[in-house]
A and B are shown apart, each in its own frame.
Chain A
Amino acid sequence: MQDSEIIHGLLSNNETRPSFENHLYGQYKYLINEGCRKYNLSYDESFSAYSDAVLLAIHNVINRSFNNASSLKTYLFQIFSNKCIDLVRKKTTNKQKVHQSALEPDLLSHLPDVTKNVIERLIDAQKLEQVRQCLEVIGEKCKKVLLLFEDGYTDREIAKQLSYNNAAVAKTTRLRCLEKIKNLFTHHG
């Protein structure tokens, strides 16, 4: 499948998108074995690096950070190589990546430095894990609507997939579910 086809499919923002995600995954999954060979990683390690690279590439295509300066293959390969190198560094030096955060950098990077420093101090891996535990108890419907939003679907598309009346209802449901997590988190945190 051509890059343009995959990108168009990922940006389609409808129920066909997962098939394009799977296709992107499958198209270059030979890199997993290359990762094993080139970086002396186990299959699981290389698979993890490759999957993370694919997910990041998909995320950047959807939020239009990918600007077609290179082919998808080159782009994916660069991300994958960096992740493999990080894994190797972690194994050999037993140190984490210098700038690794418990979270993907996306939302923090939206903030200016001064604001970012303030917020960053309030975030840690333990809180993230607590929120993840809350996800398990908020109910499948809430979990689904929140995950669809995180996956880049608009409220309109979420309404269509989950049979809500309209986008406004989907948004309201989503924010209420987020509030539910917040209440659980605050109560137990």
Chain B
Amino acid sequence: MDDALEYIEAYFEKQLSDIEKRQFEERCVNDKDFADEVAFYITARGALRQQLSDEKKQQWMATEKNKSTKNISFGKVILVKLMPYAVAACLIIIVVIFLLYYSETPQKLAKNYVVKNYTELSQTMNGADSLQIAIEAYNNKDYDKALQLFENIYRAHPDNSEALKNAGLVCLITKNYDKALRTFDQLSNMKQLHVNPGLFLEAVTLLNRDMQNDKERAKLLLKQIVDKNAYGSSEAKEWLKKW
């Protein structure tokens, strides 16, 4: 084995003493053949460094390309395999929306309207007065108590349209439709109201009750509401389209 290479390596691996190092360095200057050996060693190490560098860079570049290819391939696979399902799902959604929209009857709309708007009544910040107490009972679904309170208030204050309306709503929500109709009729006759929900709530009650001729009666009321641009006219317009 070539001892020179081992000696040269020992220098660059810092395995020589200070004296040995100086001797090495002087020999490089004074001994041409030895200098060639050292030059070769450095060249070889440089070539190995370059080879190593190239291999690692190729590996990293391959990882980059592999990732982007995988992403593309994965995307393609997803696209191809799932496309039929996606199309079917879209078609089903379209059909369902179509059916839902066009199968909505005025009665269904009216029922949904009650659920959406009258399951709870709004309370004001002043929770102490009797109206608010009645509303609280309504919201707690204590409908008997609520009705009694609303009727008491109305008896004491016949101009209190809110109490009358809410009494009608208790009857509507508890499916006491006949009494609800009477109450809302009374409400619609309160001329002093700037905005009177009475007619509209009558129409809602009729559609909820849905007995013979109720639908036609409701239609007439809704048309009146639209003509007068009264309370509930936007809902009335939409519901009339479903006839």
Contacts and interface: CB of A to CB of B under 8 A. Distances in A.
B51 A132 contact: yes
Interface in B1-51: 1-2, 5-6, 9, 11-12, 25, 28-29, 35-36, 38-51
Nearest to B45: A107
A151 B48 CA distance: 9
Contacts of B148: none
Contact of B9 (A25, A104, A175, A181): A175
Interface string A30-48: 0000000000000000011
A52 interface: yes
Nearest to A32: B64
A140 interface: no
Interface residues of A, number: 43
Interface residue range, chain B: 35 or more
A69 B233 CA distance: 76
A150 B52 contact: yes
A175 B12 CA distance: 14
Secondary structure type dominating chain B contacts: helix
A61 interface: no
Contacts of A21: 56
Contacts of B47: 128-129, 131-132, 135
Secondary structure type dominating chain A contacts: helix
Contacts of A135: 47-48, 51
A107 B14 CA distance: 11
A51 interface: yes
Contacts of A110: 11-12
Contacts of A131: 40, 43-44, 46-47
A151 B42 CA distance: 15
19 contacts: A48-B57, A51-B53, A51-B56, A51-B60, A55-B53, A107-B12, A114-B25, A115-B28, A118-B28, A119-B35, A123-B39, A123-B42, A127-B39, A129-B47, A135-B48, A147-B52, A150-B45, A178-B41, A182-B44
Closest 3 CB pairs of A and B: A103-B46, A122-B39, A131-B47
Given A107-B41, A123-B43, 14 more contacts: A47-B60, A47-B61, A107-B42, A108-B42, A111-B25, A112-B25, A115-B25, A128-B43, A132-B51, A135-B51, A147-B55, A150-B51, A181-B44, A185-B44
